[in-house]
Chain A
Amino acid sequence: EAGVAQSPRYKIIEKRQSVAFWCNPISGHATLYWYQQILGQGPKLLIQFQNNGVVDDSQLPKDRFSAERLKGVDSTLKIQPAKLEDSAVYLCASSLSWDGASYEQYFGPGTRLTVT
C-alpha cells in the first residue's frame, strides 16, 4: 500500500513570498491532518479535515495560512505571505477516520520550508 505522499520535499523562499504544499493521503483515508514541526519541537496540529470538511483549524494562523481538500482526497496548504518564523517542516498525515479504533495516523515524509 502506498504511503502518504508530499511535495515538494524542500522549498526555500524569501519572506513575504507565497508557497504551497501538496499532500496525497493513503487511499481510502477519510481524515487528513497538516502539522507544523519547528526545529527542536514536536509536531503541532494546524488543521484537520474529515473528507472535505474542516474538523479543527483552531491552531491555523488564518491571516496567512489556508488549506483546502477538494473532493476529499488531495490537500494543499498555502502560506501567503511567508514570515521568517514559518521556517519548519510541514507534515501531512492521514487516518481511516478520526475517532474510535481507526484513528492511527500515518505520516508523510514532510516538506522542509526555509524562509530567508
Chain B
Amino acid sequence: GDSVTQMEGPVTLSEEACLTINCTYTATGYPSLFWYVQYPGEGLQLLLKATKADDKGSNKGFEATYRKETTSFHLEKGSVQVSDSAVYFCALSDDDYKLSFGAGTTVTVRA
C-alpha cells in the first residue's frame, strides 16, 4: 500500500539556519504530495503541495520539489524563524484522494 517515510526528529535549529526535512514515498500510482504543518495548540494546516513530477510547491518561504526518480518530496527553508517551530507532516494522496501521512518531524527554532 501507499506509505510515506519522513526524517525522524526532533530537529533543533538556531534562527536563520537552513532547514531540510527528508520525505520519501511508496505509491502504486501517481500521487499528489503534501506538506502539512501543526503549530502548537492548532490543527493541521496545508503548507504546500505538488500534484505531478517536477512540480515545486512553495509557501511561507518553504519549498519542496516532487522528484519521481527518487520518490522524494523534501521540505526546505533557507532561513528559519522562531515562528516556524512546529510539527511537519509529509503526506500523499493517490487515485482515491485519501491522505496517507508520515510520522511527523518536530522542529524547534531557538532565538
A interface list, Cβ under 8 A from B: 3-4, 40-45, 48, 56, 91, 93, 98-99, 103-110
Contacts and interface: CB of A to CB of B under 8 A. Distances in A.
Given A40-B103, A41-B103, A42-B102, A91 B97 contact: no
Dominant SS among interface residues on chain A: loop
| Prevailing SS type, chain B contact patch | strand
**Which 7 pairs between the two chains have the least Cβ-Cβ distance?**
A42-B101, A107-B43, A107-B44, A109-B43, A103-B97, A99-B97, A108-B43
**Which of A43, A91, A108 neighbours the largest number of chain B CB atoms within 10 Å of its CB?**
A43
B66 interface: no
Contacts of B103: 40-42
Contact of A43 (B41, B44, B46): B44
A13 B45 CA distance: 29
